[in-house]
Amino acid sequence: MANPIKKVCCIGAGYVGGPSMTVMADRSPEIEFNVVDKNLKRIESWNSLDLNNLPIYEPGLMKLIKKCRNKNLYFSNEIEKNIALADMIFISVNTPTKTTGLGAGQAIDLKWIESCARQIAMHAKGHTIVVEKSTLPVKTAQTIKSILDSYIKKDFGDNNKNSKTFSILSNPEFLAEGTAIEDLLKPDRILIGGDDNNAIEVLKNIYLKWVNEQKILTTDIWSSELSKLIANAFLAQRISSINSISALCESTEANISDVAKAVGMDSRIGKYFLKSGPGFGGSCFKKDILNLVYICNYYGLFEVANYWEKVITINSWQQNRIVSIIVNKLYGTISGKKIAILGFAFKANTNDTRESPAINICRKLLEEGCILNIYDPKVSIEQIDNDLKNEDLSNLNELNNEKKWQVSSSIIDAVRKTDALIILTDWNEFYNLDLEEINNLMRPPGWIFDTRNIINIKQANKYGLNIWKIGNGNLM
């Protein structure tokens, strides 16, 4: 069957919408993809001639943008026009946790989804397949459907001449940042939920261009929405499990990497997502678990809610525990001391800092009165300043007008005259630090706090550096 889709619109040009439409455009040259966003600055960055200025950093993205942009892939803020022209619309907008009102701190704020649904309802023409791509609470499709239906009735009543119709599908995106292009090109599975078999077939046909049919799973819409939430919850749970054991290893002189390896070699457990670190960050894990907790409480499943909530408790505890260790090792006070921070993104190979453990850890260190030199290869100064600033934390120390944190342009710059260096993100370039030079630049006794388990202890000791490594009880 020829695919009836000629034009696709994606609302939301973020970390999900941008890369996923780029890969689809690359694999379906006969379809026109219009990625729209209300944030004009973001659209201008996507259209930037200098590909280094793309709004997000993802390995492999630049190459595909160069190939498809302005051929069958367009970025614009012409939202209404592109909704009207589209046969299929992906909703890929942000879905943060509510900060006020009912469900604050747990439920997902659906205001962006709702506003999208209203825009679609008003401007779509003919039959349109609406696809949820953002991670959403279970039954969001029902909300979208009810908004779309209400507009159909209001605008057109029984006048069939102008009638518009919609099919709603859930097609959650499982890409991880930093490996987005690879994940999109070689997905473990594609999940499509819905009750309109024709619409499912049409979307399936787009994926069949590069994904094996066995990997395309179709379900009802609620199972699809729930599966995405649960996949993220399971992944986050593994990280909290291994992080809880990292503390036990430190107390018992065991080594977390060896324990993780031995445990992960059991094929029933598997080796992935067993790296202990400063806790998980990113836009999804915390938000999705909070949402799961909210849903369970809503349905009276309080034990289930408490069980999952502990995954987040351990995650925050891990970060606070690291801060206490740092302060204790530096003679119980870091007031006035300079500390280098290596890595601010929530993981390597992305410029995203949403929920990055670095934010919480840096804030707590600043509250203790130290001065931070922060280096990250991809995160901008503006982003770091935005993340650290709040009402209690201005960048200037009022007493002596010295900056409380500054952003350094290299590892060496960051390390100069510091008492400690803390590795918070596992960027490749941190694996081969010149420890001799670092020791020479630091104020003795120099300390390295390695929250990603990447420094060779013997090498650090050889150059006279003190070292603390996560989950390592046998440091000498």
* Residue nearest ligand UDX (C-beta atom): 282
DSSP state of 279: -
Nearer to ligand ADP, 35 or 433 (CB): 35
Residue 42 contact among ligand UDX, ligand ADP, none, beta carbon within 5 to 8 Å by kind = ligand ADP
Nearer to ligand UDX, 74 or 285 (CB): 285
13 lies in the site for ligand ADP, by CB under 6 A: yes
166 lies in the site for ligand UDX, by CB under 6 A: no
Number of residues that bind ligand UDX (CB under 6 A): 19
Minimum CB separation of residue 246 from ligand UDX in Å reads 10
Number of residues that bind ligand ADP (CB under 6 A): 21
The one among 5, 54, 89, 175 contacting ligand UDX by CB under 6 A = 175
The one among 56, 131, 211, 284 contacting ligand UDX by CB under 6 A = 284
Torsion, Cα of 427, 431, 432, 436 (10° steps): 110
d(CA 89, CA 446): 55
Task: Give the type of residue at 356.
Answer: S
Torsion, Cα of 198, 199, 201, 205 (10° steps): 140
d(CA 271, CA 299): 34
User: What is the per-residue DSSP string for 28-42?
Assistant: -TTSEEEEE-S-HHH
- The angle, 0 to 180 degrees and rounded to 10, between the axes of the packed helices 256-264 and 221-252 is 140
- From residue 392, give the alpha-carbon distance in Å to each of 44, 363, 385, 387: 33, 10, 13, 13
Cα R_g (the chain), whole angstroms? 24
306 lies in the site for ligand ADP, by CB under 6 A: no
What mask of x and - would describe binding to ligand ADP in positions 40 to 59, judged by CB under 6 A? Answer: --x-----------------
3-class DSSP state for residue 108?
strand
366 lies in the site for ligand UDX, by CB under 6 A: no
244 lies in the site for ligand ADP, by CB under 6 A: no
- Nearest CA among 13, 4, 34 for reference residue 134: 13
The one among 15, 46, 57, 427 contacting ligand ADP by CB under 6 A = 15
CB-based contact 453:322 (threshold 8 Å): no
347 lies in the site for ligand UDX, by CB under 6 A: yes
282 lies in the site for ligand UDX, by CB under 6 A: yes
Minimum CB separation of residue 215 from ligand UDX in Å reads 15
Scan for tokens 């299929």, then name that residue.
Answer: 88
Sheet of 88-91: strands edge to edge?
A: 73-76, 32-36, 7-11, 88-91, 127-132, 165-170, 190-193, 216-219
Nearer to ligand UDX, 164 or 238 (CB): 238
The Cβ-side half-sphere exposure at 376, using a 13 Å CA radius, reads 29
d(CA 328, CA 322): 10
For residue 340, what are the β-bridge partners?
373, 421
Nearer to ligand ADP, 228 or 469 (CB): 228
Residue 12 contact among ligand ADP, ligand UDX, none, beta carbon within 5 to 8 Å by kind = ligand ADP
The one among 14, 137, 172, 193 contacting ligand ADP by CB under 6 A = 14
Q: Which stretch binds ligand ADP (CB under 6 A): 10-18, 202-210, 262-270, 297-305?
A: 10-18
The one among 5, 16, 233, 372 contacting ligand ADP by CB under 6 A = 16
Site for ligand ADP in 63-102 (CB under 6 A): 79, 92-94
d(CA 430, CA 428): 5
What mask of x and - would describe binding to ligand ADP in positions 134 to 173, judged by CB under 6 A? Answer: x---------------------------------------
Residue 187 contact among ligand UDX, ligand ADP, none, beta carbon within 5 to 8 Å by kind = none
326 lies in the site for ligand UDX, by CB under 6 A: no
Q: Of 9, 284, 362, 370, which residue is the catalytic one?
A: 284
Residue 280 contact among ligand UDX, ligand ADP, none, beta carbon within 5 to 8 Å by kind = ligand UDX
User: What is the per-residue DSSP string for 110-151?
Assistant: -HHHHHHHHHHHHH--SEEEEEE-S---TTHHHHHHHHHHHH
d(CA 243, CA 131): 36
284 is an active site residue: yes
Residue 235 contact among ligand ADP, ligand UDX, none, beta carbon within 5 to 8 Å by kind = ligand UDX
Quote the tokens at residue 347.
Answer: 């993981």
Q: Produce one character per residue of 252-266: b if its CB has 16 or more CB atoms within 10 Å, e if not.
A: eebbbbebbeeebee
Residue 211 contact among ligand UDX, ligand ADP, none, beta carbon within 5 to 8 Å by kind = none
What mask of x and - would describe binding to ligand UDX in positions 389 to 428, judged by CB under 6 A? Answer: ----------------------------------------
d(CA 134, CA 95): 7
Please state the length of the chain.
Answer: 476
Residues tagged active-site: 284
Residues within the interface to ligand ADP (CB under 6 A):
11-17, 36-39, 42, 79, 92-94, 112, 115-116, 134, 283
Residues within the interface to ligand UDX (CB under 6 A):
173-177, 232, 235, 239, 273-275, 277, 280-282, 284-285, 346-347
